[in-house]
Every structure is written in structure tokens, then in C-alpha cells.
Amino acid sequence: MVYTLCFMLIAVGLYGILVKKNLVKIIIGFVIMEAGAHLLLILIGYRRGGEVPILEKGVAAIHFAQKSVDPVPQALVLTSIVIGLGILALMVAMAIRMYERFHTFDINELRRLKG
Amino acid sequence: MAIWIPYFIAIPIGAAFFIPLVSRHLRWAPDVLGNLVMLVLAGLSLLTFGQNAVYHMGAWQTPIGIDLRLDGLASLLLISINLIGLTSSFYSVAYMRQYTSKLRYYSLFLLMVAGMNGVVLAADLFNLYIFVELASIASYALVAFGCEHEELEAAFKYLILGSLATLFALIGISLIYGLTGSLNMAQVAGRLASTPSSTALLFALALLCTGFALKSALVPFHAWLPYAHPSAPAPISAMLSGVLIKAIGIYVLARLLFNVFGLTPLLQTVLQTLGVLSMVVGVLLAIGQWDMKRLFAYHSISQIGYVVLGLSLATPLGLIGALYHLFNHSIFKSLLFLNAGAVEYATGTRELRKLGGLRRLLPVTATTSLVGSLSIAGIPPFNGFWSKLIIIIACVQAEHYWLAGAAVFVSFMTLASFLKVQKYAFLETAKEKLQLLSKVPFSMGAAMVFLALMCLLTSLLVLTGLTHPFLITPAAEALQKGILVM
């Protein structure tokens, strides 16, 4: 169920990227899709009723392995969020440059390259 | 050798951030440092030839730590990335004077090189993704470097499609992690081999293939390439078309399909279809173009089609042909883009109908572009002929006669469209309006002559044996071995 919602989020983002004509809306679509992907990644490491993956003193390793959630996806998602931020910054910077120059966010009006 | 592997990533990243620090006061610093770094990297990459090594980051052992793996295929890619990188950065010394900020240019350039070296060396899926992103983000910014209308628009298109591609790849990688519980390529390969194929696996595979086919601009995922590659500054176009689409597209596809998932007949058919489509559609779209760089960009799609076709055969000869063509293409396509840059630098236009008679005006550019054109069209003494020949022989051996026919047809069409370039740009008498704004400076000329010589030299590789050329064979064997073992 949660996975389905996750893929729906990705699909909504994809729709935004493919269909919308406004640069800002395309960027928002991308952010939504990215959030969906990150959610999926974090869900893969989730365990119902699991514990925080920090090994404390006095906790047996075997108990830890059985109980804790997988820490690897959490590390991955952090990295991925940072990368996402970089891309978002670049996108917004480019959109601002285009707006300063042509005073529009509409890609139909911007389109000059053809063929 | 293993101890040197991380330097392929550390040196360019370090230099990328060091250059802006020092060049506030030293105006010569970006040029000198950028070229020095590329020279060192090119030298190191030549040393990797014939080596197999695994480097454990921070001495953590394989399943826990991050590994870098060097094998024949990685070494071939490293050599081509760093050699072309060196030539492009030397070319930029004069060419980038037209633009405002050399310091940012070299910074981004070195980040892109670091990303590509990282992709080639990474031994686990997530680091592969990170390095793909590193190389891509640098290349988005470089495409937009001129900040004119065309560049911004092309870069935005490239940025959206490129980040969509990496997002697909990320989703694919997270599904693979969910299925196998590991990210290390060898471990993933081992665990996938023992689990039966499932819908989730197929879905993950489809996502990864889509993502990296988008990166390598195979038809029907090619929409961004003819915008992005011509809009970038010439040395960057050379890097993008010459090595970027191979290092973060074709290489990753080949590595994943051959060494991690294992090539199945279904995947072979998919690759074959993509390859033939790219080959034919690319060349048909190219022949009608009048913008020189755009024409070359469409040819990149078509030539990448050859590489994918060779890979899809999965026979020893097919793989050798594919990798040989990949290496050759990186040389002659970079040469052609550098030529186009020189023409634009000297005349202010790259519109074929406005040019003419450049053979007399720009002799070095004209001669080297003739070499490049003959190479890409597959005329005997040059390298393109041999690799195409090997691919066609491999098609016939595998009894795919119509594929061989398609390859020959595309080769003829390529010849036709390059005759068009030669005729309109270099041979006809000059148009009256055309005037030479400036001469081609030494650094640009030297870079082009070097690549033209490489076109001849790499064709000598075939002398060491048509079926097992020097340099290429270890790379093909790395793919041939099938899925990785720990």
C-alpha cells in the first residue's frame, strides 16, 4: 500500500515534468518525483516496529541485527537529497536567468531551437 | 597500481576547487593548472593498461567498504577519457578566451572528468550513481556556459531529461538493493544469479536501461542530444560527444548488462533494436542538417548505434568491434567538434551554406577535418574503417545478415553527409560575405593535429591482429567473462 502511494507520487511528478509548460511547474514536478524516489529508497530499509540503527552498549549484536531498521538506505538517501539540492539549485538558477532575459516562464514562447 | 586508483578521482576534484582559490591573483593559473592536471591524469591512465586491481577505500573489506575496481574495460575508458580530456583542455587555452570566466570553466571541466573517471572505476551501484550525477551536473552547467538564448534553452532541456534519467536509475538501484540487500556489483551479480527472475527484477532492469539509454542518447531517447551538444563551447562538445555519452551511458549499460545481470536473449533483442534504430534514424536526421555541429551531434547518435549493435551480438568479435569503435569514435568525433569550433572561431559562423573555400583560408583545420570525416565515414587507412569492418564481419558471423546490411547502408549515408560538409565548408569557393575574423591559434591547431594523428595511429592497432587488437582485447575479455565474482 505504501509502495503504491510512493509510485503514485513518482507518477505525479513525471506527469508534471512531461505535460506542464511552465518552467517553475516543471521544476516542482521534478522535486515531487524526487521525493517519491527518496521515499521508496527509505521504505526499502524499513522494518515494522524496528529500532533505531545505533548499536548501544549492552545490546547483543544478534538482537540488533534482528530488530533494527537497515541503516544503509538512510545513508544513501541523505547523499541523494544533497545531490537533489544541487540539481534543484542549478535548475532554479537557469530558470531565473531565462526569466531575466525573456520575461517569461512559458516554454512555448521560449522555444527557438527546432528540428 | 592499486594505490594509484583513487587519484583518478581525487586529483581532478582537488584541482577543481584549488583553481578558483589561487586564480583570483594569478591570471595564468587556470590554464596552466588545468592542463597540468589533465597531463598527469593522461599519463596515469596510460599506466593502467593491462592492470587488474581492486582498491578498498579506507581499507574496509569488500561488503562493508567502498571499492574501486580497475579492469580491462575500465582501463580502455580511462585512457580515452583522459586523452581526449587533455586535448580538449589544451584546445581551450585559446578557444575559451572568447568567454568571460576561464576559472569556472576549468573547475567544471575537471569536475566532469572526475565524475567520468569515478563512473568507470566504481565497483558499487550507488557510487556509480553519484559519479554519474557529478559528471552530469558539471556538464549541464558547461552546456549553459555561454548564457545566450540557445545555450540556456538547450541546457534546460538537457538538465530536465538528464536528471530524469538519473532519477530512473536511482529508483532502479533502490529496487535492486531491496531485492539483493547489497550494492556491491559483484555481490549483487552473485545473489541475482541464484534468485529466480521476478517482475520486480525486470522492472528494476527496465528502469536502469531507460535511465542509461537516456544518458547515452539512443533513439528513441535522443531528444536532448542534438540541442545540448551543439550549444556547448567546442571543447565541451568534443568531451560530451566524444566521451561523456560513452562513459556514463554505454559503459554503464555494458557493465550492468554483461557483468551484473548477465545478458539474456531478451536483453540482446532490446539492445539490438536500440542499436539499429539509433544507427539508421541518427544518420537520416543528420544528412538534412545545415548547422555543422548539429550534423555532427546527430552522427554521434548514429555511431553510438554501431557500438550498441556490436555489444548486442555478444560474440567475442562483436565485443571487440564495439569497443574498438567506441575508442575510435571518441577520437574522431572529438576531432570533428574541435574542427567545427575552429571554423566558428575563425569565421563567426558554423552554418554550412554561409561557409566555403576554407581549404585555402584554414589549411590545418581543413586537412584535419578531412581526416576526421574519412575516419567517421569508414575509408580504409583510418581507424573508423577497421572497427566498422569488424562489427560488420561479426554481424555476418552471427548470421544477422540484415544487420550487416543496415551497418553498410548507414556507413554510405555517413559518407554522403560528410561529403556534404567537405563540399560546402571547405572545397567550394568562398562566399563574398565570408571574411576571416582571426587565425586559428596554435593551441587549437596543435590539439586538432594531435587527434588527426591519433586517427591514423589507432588504426595501427589492427596490425596486432584483426580478431584480437592490442588495447581492445583485455576490455572485451572483461565483458566476455560474464557476471562478476567476488
User: What's the confidence (pLDDT) of residue B135?
Assistant: 95
Residue A15 CA to residue A7 CA, distance in Å, equals 12
Nearest residue of A to residue B285 by CA position?
A115
Q: Is B378 left (phi over 0), alpha (psi -120 to 50) or beta?
A: left
- When pLDDT is cut at 50, 70 and 90, the band that residue B136 belongs to is very high
**Is residue A115 included in any domain, yes or no?**
no
DSSP string for residues in B158-181: HHHHHHHHHHHHHHHHHHHHHHHS
User: What's the confidence (pLDDT) of residue B209?
Assistant: 94
**Is residue A27 included in any domain, yes or no?**
yes
**Is residue A40 included in any domain, yes or no?**
yes
Across the interface, whether the CB atoms of A37 and B155 are under 8 A apart is answered no
Distance to chain B for A44, nearest Cα, Å:
6
pLDDT tens digits for B308-318? 999 999 898 99
Burial (CB count <10 Å: 0-12, 13-18, 19+), residue B312: buried
User: What's the angle, vertex CA A50, arms to CA A48 and CA A56, rounded to 5?
Assistant: 175
Q: What count of CB pairs under 8 Å joins A to B?
A: 80
Residue B246 CA to residue B263 CA, distance in Å, equals 19
Chain A CB contacts of B130 below 8 Å: 79, 83
- When pLDDT is cut at 50, 70 and 90, the band that residue B486 belongs to is low
Distance to chain B for A52, nearest Cα, Å:
18
pLDDT tens digits for B319-351? 999 999 999 999 999 999 999 999 999 888 888
Across the interface, whether the CB atoms of B170 and A86 are under 8 A apart is answered no
Nearest residue of A to residue B136 by CA position?
A87
User: If interface means Cβ-Cβ distance under 8 Å, which residues of chain A face chain B?
Assistant: 10, 14, 17, 23, 26, 30, 33-34, 37, 40-41, 44, 72-73, 76, 79-80, 83, 86-87, 90-91, 94-95, 97-98, 101-102, 110-113, 115
**For testing the chain B interface, which of A14, A94, A108 should be mutated: the one with the most B CBs within 10 Å?**
A94
User: What's the confidence (pLDDT) of residue B376?
Assistant: 93
Which single residue is written with the C-alpha cell 536532448?
B224
Chain B CB contacts of A72 below 8 Å: 177, 183
Chain A CB contacts of B154 below 8 Å: 113
Across the interface, whether the CB atoms of A111 and B153 are under 8 A apart is answered yes
Q: How far is CA B294 from the centre of its chain?
A: 16
Distance to chain B for A97, nearest Cα, Å:
8
Q: Does ipTM surpass 0.85 in this model?
A: yes
Share of chain A above pLDDT 70, in %: 96
Across the interface, whether the CB atoms of A97 and B170 are under 8 A apart is answered no
Across the interface, whether the CB atoms of A37 and B140 are under 8 A apart is answered no
User: What's the angle, vertex CA B95, arms to CA B92 and CA B99, rounded to 5?
Assistant: 100
In angstroms, the Cα distances linking A70 to A43, A47, A79, B399 are: 10, 8, 16, 49
**In chain B, where the domains are located:** 2-480
Distance to chain A for B219, nearest Cα, Å:
15
Across the interface, whether the CB atoms of B144 and A94 are under 8 A apart is answered yes
Across the interface, whether the CB atoms of B156 and A91 are under 8 A apart is answered yes
User: What's the confidence (pLDDT) of residue B1?
Assistant: 66
Number of domains in chain A: 1
Higher pLDDT, residue B373 or A55: B373
Chain A CB contacts of B156 below 8 Å: 23, 91, 94-95, 98
How many C-alpha atoms does B252 have within 13 Å on its Cβ side? 36
Most confident of B194-198, B228-232, B431-435: B228-232
User: What's the confidence (pLDDT) of residue A115?
Assistant: 40
Across the interface, whether the CB atoms of A113 and B227 are under 8 A apart is answered yes
Q: Which domain holds residue A11?
A: 2-110
pLDDT tens digits for B58-72? 888 877 888 899 989
- Residues 6 or more apart whose CB falls under 8 angstroms from that of B388 comprise B306, B321, B325, B378, B407, B411
Chain A CB contacts of B141 below 8 Å: 90
**For testing the chain B interface, which of A106, A109, A113 should be mutated: the one with the most B CBs within 10 Å?**
A113
CATH label of the domain that carries residue A18: 1.10.287.3510
Q: Strand runs (DSSP E) across B256-312, as ranges?
A: none
pLDDT tens digits for A17-44? 999 889 999 999 999 999 999 999 999 8
- When pLDDT is cut at 50, 70 and 90, the band that residue A57 belongs to is confident
Residue B310 CA to residue B324 CA, distance in Å, equals 10
pLDDT tens digits for B142-164? 999 988 888 888 999 999 999 99
**For testing the chain B interface, which of A9, A19, A90, A110 should be mutated: the one with the most B CBs within 10 Å?**
A90
The grid coordinates of residue A68 equal 533494527
**For testing the chain B interface, which of A76, A79, A108, A112 should be mutated: the one with the most B CBs within 10 Å?**
A76
Residue B160 has its nearest CB partner, among A26, A37, A76, at: A26
Distance to chain B for A84, nearest Cα, Å:
9
Residue B323 CA to residue B61 CA, distance in Å, equals 32
Distance to chain A for B24, nearest Cα, Å:
24
Distance to chain B for A58, nearest Cα, Å:
23
Across the interface, whether the CB atoms of A79 and B126 are under 8 A apart is answered yes
Nearest to B182 by CA among B133, B259, B126, B254: B126
pLDDT tens digits for B401-451? 999 999 999 999 999 999 999 988 888 776 766 777 788 889 999 999 999
Chain A CB contacts of B133 below 8 Å: 83, 86-87
Q: Is the peptide bond before B220 cis (omega within 30 degrees of 0)?
A: yes
